[in-house]
């Protein structure tokens, strides 16, 4: 399963053994590079970036670090090695050999699943393309570029599946993935969170902490798929995703750290005072958390979904860590708890677990987000500062599902329109907050130096020293 880097498209799928497929992908490649030039990180073409590239798909030591000009990054097709005699692990086909080809009856559904996942990958690159111009350090600049090239590779991962298994329809979908644009009025990306702006680094770190984590859970559910090539593709993507989550969590952690230092140094928790000191007050960070959490919650879709049930029963998309769960893996009689709004109250009800799989995946994600928030809270705790971050109620600021059209406070109170209008500015970033955060965004490119609003990281990438030149401007 070693990766062949001598070919135009690096791969471990023996692309050379399938000339038609190889030609089709080589035909798609220039379009991808054009897209990268047009929509990839702004003004980045000439930079030499200290990037990791996959050299092996084995779990240990797959990464190689070196300076790369991003347009020359070796985007390719990497799947984890096949598991001998892998079976479908859930649904009506449980126990049958996993599919190496797309079952005809599931073709359009699978294609839709792959396209929807694939569309998020270039979307986030587009959302983040201006941020290099305001990087708080070379370390952070390198990290965002690493995330960006890997999201580009994730697009390759999905396009490979479309080309290899979905014939002409797949090739057309692969073209369309290069044509949609995040936030475009006429031809937007498919999911709404991927059409939001990522205007500053606080948003970027929240996005990688929260929205890339949605990616983790979607990929994990698809890694359970009975369609084996999809499963193996997603398994390798998950190893890359872990770094994106690290960038987000540590990025916010460093912002909190810096603010706590300023709070103690100046003995103040007054947001106005802290802002005048050029750090981001903790309540503003909480507002950004509320925003990204609620917008990303919507990505999981309706709490009750017959589509989700069908995906599961047909063996296309499993639950998080399906194979580790101890139940019948068919969910014919199991129940699950979902919320519902009745008058002014939020109540829970039991529904067939099969119909509640979106909610279940959302709950798994919430648990994971919450664990990260608890790790953040150790920072003010250690500094002797009483402030704690808290995820808002699941119903807060939602546009999809049972809470759409409702006004729910972060504490989970159903509010009247008037009460919401009166109070929501305390809970979500308003123009003034965004303008303040925006005003901090300068550009720091001296090795080892960091913008005032963020603490340096605990250690360097690949254990490089503090003043390492992660990006070379030539």
Residue 471: phi and psi, rounded to 5, are: -130, 130
**Using the 8-state DSSP alphabet, how is residue 186 labeled?**
S
**Judged by CB under 5 A, which stretch of 47-55, 236-244, 353-361, 434-442 contacts Fe ion?**
236-244
CB of 289 to Fe ion, least distance (A): 18
Q: How many helices (H) and strands (E) does the chain have?
A: 13, 7
To which H or E segment does residue 71 belong? none
CB of 155 to Fe ion, least distance (A): 8
Q: How many CB atoms within 10 Å of residue 431? A: 9
Q: How many CB atoms within 10 Å of residue 332? A: 10
Q: Which of residues 31-90 bind Fe ion (CB under 5 A)?
A: none
CB of 212 to Fe ion, least distance (A): 4
CB of 213 to Fe ion, least distance (A): 9
**Judged by CB under 5 A, which stretch of 169-177, 206-214, 261-269, 334-342 contacts Fe ion?**
206-214
Per-residue tokens: 102:
């797309």
Among 154, 181, 232, 329, the residue binding Fe ion under the rule CB under 5 A is 154
**Judged by CB under 5 A, which stretch of 82-90, 145-153, 166-174, 188-196 contacts Fe ion?**
145-153
CB of 244 to Fe ion, least distance (A): 4
Per-residue tokens: 167:
């014939």
Q: Which is nearer to Fe ion, 215 or 315 (CB)?
A: 215
CB of 362 to Fe ion, least distance (A): 18
Q: Which is nearer to Fe ion, 126 or 212 (CB)?
A: 212
Work out whether 232 is an interface residue with Fe ion (CB under 5 A): no
Q: Which is nearer to Fe ion, 150 or 224 (CB)?
A: 150
Q: Which is nearer to Fe ion, 212 or 364 (CB)?
A: 212
Work out whether 212 is an interface residue with Fe ion (CB under 5 A): yes
Per-residue tokens: 299:
């990505």
Q: Which is nearer to Fe ion, 154 or 258 (CB)?
A: 154
Work out whether 244 is an interface residue with Fe ion (CB under 5 A): yes
- The whole-angstrom distance between residue 47's C-alpha and the CA centroid of its chain comes to 25
**Judged by CB under 5 A, which stretch of 117-125, 258-266, 319-327, 392-400 contacts Fe ion?**
117-125
Q: Are 318 and 312 in contact (CB under 8 A)?
A: yes
Going by their DSSP bridges, the two strands 345-352 and 335-342 should be labelled as: antiparallel
Q: How many CA atoms does the CB half-sphere of 166 hold within 13 Å?
A: 26
**Residues paired with residue 49 on neighbouring β-strands, in sequence order:** 68, 471
CB of 298 to Fe ion, least distance (A): 18
Q: Which is nearer to Fe ion, 3 or 149 (CB)?
A: 149
Size of residue set near Fe ion by CB under 5 A:
7
Q: Which is nearer to Fe ion, 136 or 215 (CB)?
A: 215
Identify the burial level of 204 via C-beta atoms within 10 angstroms of its C-beta, where 0-12 means exposed, 13-18 middle and 19 or more buried: buried
Alpha helices in 196-337 (DSSP H): 201-206, 212-223, 228-265, 271-276, 282-297, 306-313
Q: Which is nearer to Fe ion, 216 or 407 (CB)?
A: 216
Q: Are 348 and 342 in contact (CB under 8 A)?
A: no
CB of 41 to Fe ion, least distance (A): 15
CB of 180 to Fe ion, least distance (A): 16
If you count them, how many residues does the chain have? 474
Per-residue tokens: 364:
């798994």
Q: Which is nearer to Fe ion, 88 or 222 (CB)?
A: 222
Q: Which is nearer to Fe ion, 200 or 241 (CB)?
A: 241
**Judged by CB under 5 A, which stretch of 240-248, 322-330, 413-421, 445-453 contacts Fe ion?**
240-248
Q: Are 373 and 390 in contact (CB under 8 A)?
A: yes
CB of 241 to Fe ion, least distance (A): 5
**Judged by CB under 5 A, which stretch of 213-221, 349-357, 362-370, 412-420 contacts Fe ion?**
213-221
In terms of Cα–Cα distance, which of 237, 26, 221 is closest to 121?
A: 237
| Integer Cα distance of 183 and 196 in angstroms | 6
Using CB under 5 A as the criterion, which residues of the chain lie in contact with Fe ion when the complex forms?
A: 121, 151, 154, 212, 215, 241, 244
């Amino acid at each position: 399963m070693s990766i062949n880097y001598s070919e135009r498209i690096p791969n471990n799928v023996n692309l050379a053994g399938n000339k038609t497929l190889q030609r089709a992908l080589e035909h798609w490649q220039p379009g991808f590079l054009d897209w990268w030039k047009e929509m990839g990180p702004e003004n980045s073409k000439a930079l030499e970036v200290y990037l990791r590239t996959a050299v092996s798909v084995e779990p240990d030591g797959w990464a190689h670090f070196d300076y790369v000009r991003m347009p020359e990054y070796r985007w390719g097709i990497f799947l984890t090695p096949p598991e001998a005699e892998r079976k479908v692990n859930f649904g009506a086909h449980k126990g049958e050999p996993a599919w190496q080809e797309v079952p005809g009856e599931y073709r359009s559904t699978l294609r839709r699943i792959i396209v929807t996942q694939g569309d998020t990958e270039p979307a986030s690159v587009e959302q983040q393309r201006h941020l290099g111009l305001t990087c708080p350090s070379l370390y952070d600049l390198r990290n965002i570029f690493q995330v960006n090239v890997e999201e580009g590779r994730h697009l390759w991962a999905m396009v490979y599946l479309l080309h290899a298994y979905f014939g002409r329809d797949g090739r057309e979908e692969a073209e369309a993935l290069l044509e949609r644009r995040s936030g475009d009025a006429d031809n937007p990306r498919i999911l709404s969170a991927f059409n939001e702006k990522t205007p500053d680094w606080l948003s970027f770190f929240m996005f990688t902490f929260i929205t890339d984590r949605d990616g983790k859970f979607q990929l994990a559910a698809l890694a359970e798929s009975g369609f084996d090539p999809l499963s193996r593709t997603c398994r390798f993507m998950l190893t890359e995703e872990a770094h994106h989550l690290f960038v987000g969590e540590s990025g916010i952690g460093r912002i909190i750290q810096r603010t706590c230092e300023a709070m103690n140094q100046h003995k103040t928790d007054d947001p106005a005072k802290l802002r005048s000191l050029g750090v981001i007050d903790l309540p503003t960070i909480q507002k950004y958390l509320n925003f990204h959490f609620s917008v990303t919650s919507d990505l999981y879709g309706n709490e009750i979904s017959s589509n989700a049930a069908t995906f599961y029963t047909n063996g296309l998309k499993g639950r998080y860590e399906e194979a580790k769960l101890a139940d019948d893996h068919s969910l014919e009689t199991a129940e699950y708890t979902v919320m519902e709004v009745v008058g002014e109250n939020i109540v829970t009800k039991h529904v067939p677990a099969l119909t509640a799989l979106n909610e279940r995946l959302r709950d798994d994600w919430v648990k994971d987000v919450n664990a990260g928030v608890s790790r953040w809270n150790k920072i003010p705790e250690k500094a002797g500062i009483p402030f704690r971050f808290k995820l808002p109620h699941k119903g807060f600021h939602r546009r999809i599902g049972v809470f759409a059209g409702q006004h729910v406070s972060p504490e989970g109170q159903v509010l009247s329109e008037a009460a919401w209008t009166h109070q929501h500015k305390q809970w979500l970033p308003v123009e003034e907050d965004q303008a303040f955060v925006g005003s901090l965004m300068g550009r720091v490119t001296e090795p080892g130096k960091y913008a005032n609003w963020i603490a340096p990281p605990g250690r360097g990438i690949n254990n490089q020293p503090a003043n390492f030149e992660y990006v070379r401007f030539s």
